Chain A
Amino acid sequence: MDLLPFGSDLSENNIFSKLRRVEWGMWFVLLVLATYGTILLYGAAGGSWQPWALDHIVRFFLFSAIMFAVAVIDIRFWYQLAYPAYIIVFVLLVGVELVGDISKGAQRWLQLGPLRLQPSEFMKITAVVALARYYQDLNVKNIEKIKHHIIPILMVIAPAGLIMKQPDLGTGITVILVGGVMVVLAGISWRWITGAIVGAVGLFVFAYNFLLHDFQRKRVETFLNPELDKLGQGYQITQSKIAIGSGGFWGSGFMHGTQSRLDFLPERHTDFVFAMLLEEFGFVGGILALVLYAAVMAYGIYIATSSRNIFGKMVAGGVTMLLFIYVSINAAMIMGLMPVVGMPMPFISYGGSVMLSVMFALGLVQNAKVYRDKIINSGFAKK
């Protein structure tokens, strides 16, 4: 599996030995996905590297470097950074609530001098790392007990609540699902898991009726019946389904997707790029993409299960879940199985910040692989 010499443990600390331990197969799958995306974006621009395709592939290599850098930095650094990072991002989220910019009807952006930040994006990662650290530090026998999980649940609910209030339902739900899966992985009892699912459904019904904003409720309604509003909210879903359905088994061919080419498909280079993929490359091309994503996730699960420290396990599990949420929610959305929630398809959709955050997160997964045998001495909490 790896090339570590017998008994070398962490003695070989030079950069090359660390790079050797990086999961190169996983990166290669990512490269294939990014190339797939580049081809699509080249076609979306009518057969031109501008304005998207070149950016996309250059970014991939640029962010690959960042990913490797994240991977080789000592795992203890990330462990140490977990709480401070979480606290900073949480404060930024509160800041957004107080003084954030409003754009497209939602309060998501925070202007700090020349920086324009979207703290909710960071929270997806910092929550994962912070929870990982919490469980690393926990170290108890009876982990099934609820009392051990109250703190992490609050660590998830609090920022998720702030994010949903912005309102950014998609990101908020993502944080909750990722955090929830980590709590499940950590070993909370099945009773509580069942209870949480029942509670979530109940909460949804309650939220739908009393908490959701009008535009969010409208999204749910038009999702349930897009025909109601063919030219308004339902337009995107309807057009996306037409593009996908007309592609058929083999697709209409590269750069021959009429719905994408003639602008009927909205946002064809960002959130709806997978619909264009399905139109032009058909069912076959769609299966290929899903297999590639499944491969990345399989690597994530493999790394999580093979890591010997809780922190690495938890980070790898959480990030894998994050990736799964991106892919499945985006695919479900464009195929009309879910309301439109503004969630890109990683590595295929055009957009720098999302690619950066996903590759940074996968860098942490690689980091768990590189340092999978490292024993982390928890500095706190001996319960």
Chain B
Amino acid sequence: MSDIPEEFERRAFLLAGVGGLAFTTLIGRMAQLQIFENKEYRLEAASNQFNYSIIPASRGPIYDRFGIPLAVNRRDFRVLMATDEIPDKNQIDGVLNDVATIIQLDENKLNQAKQGIKEAKRHSTTQIAGNLSWEAYSRISLYSANFVGVHPEMGESRNYPMGEAFAHIIGYVAKANDKEIEKDPKAKHPAIRVGRQGIEKTLEDILKGVHGAQKSEVDAHGRVVREIYDPNLVPKAGSSVVLTIDAELQQVAHDQLGEESGAIVLLDVNNGDILALASSPSFDNNKFIDGISAADYRALNENERHPLYHKAIRGAYPSGSTIKPMMALAALESGVIKPEDHINCPGFIEIAGNRYHCTARRGHGNLNMVNAIKTSCDVYFYELGRRMGPDNMVRTARRFGLGQEHDIGLPGVAKGTFPSPEDKMRIYKKKWEIYDTINMAIGQGLVTITPLQLAIMVSRIASNGKAIEPNIIKSIDGVEQKRPFTNLPISQEHLDIVHRGMYGVTNEAGGTAVANLGIEGVKIAGKTGTAQVRRISMSERASGVKSNASLEWRLRDHSLFICYGPYDNPKYACATIIEHGGFGASAAAPRGREVIKAAILKDPATLPFFVPHNKKANAATDDGEGGI
């Protein structure tokens, strides 16, 4: 018994040592968590503690030059579902059914909502229904406390009051896609829309503002303990944008186009403001905001007149005879002809063994330049082309904006084609031939232009060489977007000749589009064009060219018309293209004339611009008087 206590003592101290080692380990672990890994755990604690609910920024409004709203935000009552908050996913359908009863959602939309929620990503909020009536919203607000994960919300939704007339210009917004959400995670909020087309797309960064968030402290059960104000998280409203467009004239142009497939562009020749930029047929861009139905989209996409296509800036057409005034200038500038030099038109011309026909089968006889423009004599311009060659034509065409890209602030502006011999070799790998020169001289063959380019060309002629660069954006947040331009080095004398020719077209006997404008003392000058879409074979020419009326729609000629006015003091220029409209004077000219007439009567260039009151202030949630 005597040695037991000693051994006991030894072992007790040994065990105490083991215990001390264990405590040291515990302290080491404490140090690891609390000192060395403290930073990471603090972050994790914060992500436990705080929750951020996104507050979409108010998207910037878009106005016409006089303040008519083109894209606005409408108050929208909606109800959202945060599936994360619902512990038992099997309850979701039941909750949706109850919500549908409360807000009187029809079967169809309910199924759509169910589908949407099924397909929604984790940790996302999905819209059950939007555009609720005030009554439905009140009811769901009252009952939502009974449903976990159901959140009534009062927000804004985009709306386009002018719809079709502006669909191509304004474009539309749609829900953010995965890539955009990756860039700005806040964009996952179901009410946030991203610009997809038109101004909404090009000015997305300016219009969207900065989305904010409500920071709140939550407990482990997801209940909000308190809300925290963080000035960095206050949403900033997007900038307001004023366009150069005059909504009234745009409407006139849109109405003039009617059901035809075509485009009308109206410019202010003195500063390049785009007053109207209509494409037809159009579509209702409001349908895209909440996602267009597949059937509606298919109908638009498969329509042979391509309503989704912004023809005014994207459509490239043969210019036809509308190019002749510019060709006349090119010839005068290159010195191959004098204005009073006469060329005889027997109805055709033979160059390098090929016969090129004039529209007048029996010929125009002897013509000077003014008359050649007025009567649109092809033979006269074949001869000009032959004399000056492609390089002179291309040089002048570039000065008038053809074959060039014009950044007017809209996506998808086409460049058209006006190739030099080098360009042809580079693009088509083919040598330049004499018939290329001849065709180019009358705006056929390799030449394609957009309605916008056509308007720029006529505008630069009308303004005696002001090389205006049009832009559709007048001001952003009230700050005017200046667009300086230079003057073209073109002789005034030569310009006057062309002006006289174009005056003849619309005012003198023998002109191709003579008509009275109907405004006392005001005349316009113009030029028609008929662009051939199909090849006319030798046999057809022998037996008589078929009339447009006898042809299928898509084989008929394009009808073009350019004009400017008033003749004495040019202010506005207009280009009109009616696809497959037949003869230029019949389809395009009357429409273009109506548009420029409206412009001259209203004279928007003399009226003051709309300046939006500066909304740059942090208009967070502009609840106004309608608040709850």
Query: Is the pairing of A and B real?
Result: yes
* Size bracket of the A interface: 35 or more
Given A185-B11, A264-B220; A245-B16 close (CB under 8 Å): no
Distance of A187 Cα from B9 Cα, bound (Å):
10
Interface-centre pick from B1, B19, B27, B38 (highest chain A CB count, 10 A): B19
Q: Is the CB of A184 within 8 A of B11?
A: yes
Distance of A290 Cα from B218 Cα, bound (Å):
32
User: Chain A interface: which of B44-52, B236-244, B270-278?
Assistant: B44-52
Q: Is the CB of A283 within 8 A of B31?
A: yes
Which single member of B9, B29, B38 contacts A248 (CB below 8 Å)? B38
B4 within 8 Å of A by Cβ?
A: yes
Q: Which residue of A lies closest to B48 (CB)?
A: A264
Q: Is the CB of B38 within 8 A of A246?
A: yes
Distance of A139 Cα from B7 Cα, bound (Å):
14
Q: Which residue of A lies closest to B50 (CB)?
A: A258
A interface SS class: helix
Given A259-B48, A283-B30; A246-B15 close (CB under 8 Å): no
A-B residue pair count with CB separations less than 8 angstroms: 125
B8 within 8 Å of A by Cβ?
A: yes
Mark A219-233 against chain B: 1 for CB-CB distance below 8 A, else 0: 000000000000000
Distance of A166 Cα from B38 Cα, bound (Å):
39
Q: Is the CB of A294 within 8 A of B8?
A: no
B26 within 8 Å of A by Cβ?
A: yes
Q: Is the CB of B221 within 8 A of A263?
A: yes
Contacts of B4 in A (CB 8 A): 143, 187, 310
Contacts of B19 in A (CB 8 A): 297, 324, 328
Residues 9-26 of B contacting A (Cβ, < 8 Å): 9, 11-13, 15-16, 19-20, 22-23, 25-26
Given A139-B1, A328-B26, A331-B26; A248-B35 close (CB under 8 Å): yes
Contacts of A301 in B (CB 8 A): 12-13, 16
B33 within 8 Å of A by Cβ?
A: yes
Q: Is the CB of A244 within 8 A of B41?
A: yes
Distance of A248 Cα from B41 Cα, bound (Å):
9
B153 within 8 Å of A by Cβ?
A: no
Contacts of B12 in A (CB 8 A): 185, 301, 304-305, 317
* Size bracket of the B interface: 35 or more
Q: Is the CB of A335 within 8 A of B45?
A: no
Mark B196-240 against chain A: 1 for CB-CB distance below 8 A, else 0: 000000000000000000000111110001000000000000000
Q: Is the CB of B30 within 8 A of A278?
A: yes
Distance of A141 Cα from B7 Cα, bound (Å):
12
A173 within 8 Å of B by Cβ?
A: no
Distance of A97 Cα from B33 Cα, bound (Å):
41
Q: Is the CB of A259 within 8 A of B26?
A: no
Q: Is the CB of A262 within 8 A of B220?
A: yes
A337 within 8 Å of B by Cβ?
A: yes
Distance of A184 Cα from B7 Cα, bound (Å):
10
B42 within 8 Å of A by Cβ?
A: yes
Q: Is the CB of A181 within 8 A of B30?
A: no
A282 within 8 Å of B by Cβ?
A: yes
Q: Is the CB of B5 within 8 A of A313?
A: yes
Q: Is the CB of B48 within 8 A of A244?
A: no
B34 within 8 Å of A by Cβ?
A: yes
B37 within 8 Å of A by Cβ?
A: yes
Contacts of A264 in B (CB 8 A): 45, 48-49, 219-220
B180 within 8 Å of A by Cβ?
A: no
B623 within 8 Å of A by Cβ?
A: no
Distance of A246 Cα from B48 Cα, bound (Å):
11
Residues 308-342 of A contacting B (Cβ, < 8 Å): 308, 310, 313, 317, 321, 324, 328, 331-332, 335, 337
Q: Is the CB of A290 within 8 A of B23?
A: yes
Q: Is the CB of A245 within 8 A of B221?
A: no
Contacts of A290 in B (CB 8 A): 23, 26-27
Distance of A304 Cα from B9 Cα, bound (Å):
8
Q: Is the CB of B23 within 8 A of A242?
A: no
B40 within 8 Å of A by Cβ?
A: yes
Distance of A88 Cα from B349 Cα, bound (Å):
129
Q: Which residue of B lies closest to A314 (CB)?
A: B8
A217 within 8 Å of B by Cβ?
A: no
Distance of A249 Cα from B217 Cα, bound (Å):
24
Distance of A304 Cα from B5 Cα, bound (Å):
10
A179 within 8 Å of B by Cβ?
A: no
A243 within 8 Å of B by Cβ?
A: yes
A241 within 8 Å of B by Cβ?
A: yes
Residues 268-301 of A contacting B (Cβ, < 8 Å): 278, 282-283, 286-287, 290, 294, 297-298, 301
Distance of A338 Cα from B60 Cα, bound (Å):
57
Contacts of B33 in A (CB 8 A): 241, 244-245, 278, 335
Distance of A298 Cα from B221 Cα, bound (Å):
43
Contacts of A262 in B (CB 8 A): 48-49, 217-220, 225
B18 → chain A closest CB, angstroms: 9
Which single member of B9, B26, B29, B42 contacts A305 (CB below 8 Å)? B9
Which single member of B22, B35, B45, B219 contacts A246 (CB below 8 Å)? B45
Q: Is the CB of B45 within 8 A of A242?
A: yes
Distance of A355 Cα from B311 Cα, bound (Å):
86
Distance of A313 Cα from B45 Cα, bound (Å):
47
Contacts of A298 in B (CB 8 A): 16
Mark A181-192 against chain B: 1 for CB-CB distance below 8 A, else 0: 100111100000
Given A248-B38, A263-B220; A181-B45 close (CB under 8 Å): no
Q: Is the CB of A185 within 8 A of B219?
A: no
Which single member of A258, A308, A313, A335 contacts B30 (CB below 8 Å)? A335
Q: Which residue of B lies closest to A245 (CB)?
A: B41
Contacts of A263 in B (CB 8 A): 219-221
**What are the 8 A-B residue pairs with the smallest beta carbon separation, nearest first?**
A245-B41, A246-B45, A263-B220, A262-B219, A245-B33, A283-B34, A264-B220, A248-B38
Instruction: Sample 7 A-B pairs with CB under 8 A, ordered by A number.
Output: A246-B45, A258-B45, A304-B12, A305-B9, A328-B23, A331-B26, A335-B33
20 further A-B contacts with Cβ under 8 Å, apart from A241-B33, A286-B27, are: A143-B4, A181-B15, A239-B48, A239-B220, A244-B33, A245-B34, A245-B40, A245-B45, A248-B38, A248-B42, A258-B45, A259-B45, A262-B219, A264-B220, A286-B30, A301-B12, A301-B13, A308-B5, A328-B22, A328-B26
